[in-house]
Structure 1
Amino acid sequence: MTKKGDLNTYQIEIVETMSALVEVVAEDSETALLKAREMYRGEDIVLYPDDFIDTKFNTFGIK
């Protein structure tokens, strides 16, 4: 936190959580997870505003 006169400056982290269930065909759960990650990173799985679950705000002081 830094001071400017009588005021303090803070960093506020905003974290949005989104969630979607997708079906992946694989031999085991580890392979399914790897496939899902690849699909997500390759933008084959896209989360939309309707997939929104929660927003959290975290406060950090500036040194």
Structure 2
Amino acid sequence: MSMMDKIKQMLKGHEDQAKTGVDKAGDMIDQRTQDKYSSQVDAAQKRADQYIDQNRRDNPPR
């Protein structure tokens, strides 16, 4: 089982919590870097949210 498969399995049913965690992590990084990399952090947060949403559509909870 690949790492991505393990992540998908862990996310199943917990997508909202994962998105909250992504937002909090991004906010923490912005705070610690004094918003120096905010555009890159925002882009990474957006990609992570898209991945979570795509995983939700592809693998609905049973």
In the superposition, the TM-score normalised over structure 1's length comes to 0.26
Q: Which has the larger radius of gyration?
A: 1
Higher relative contact order (CA 8 A, sep 6+): 1
Query: Which has the larger helix fraction?
Result: 2
Higher strand share: 1
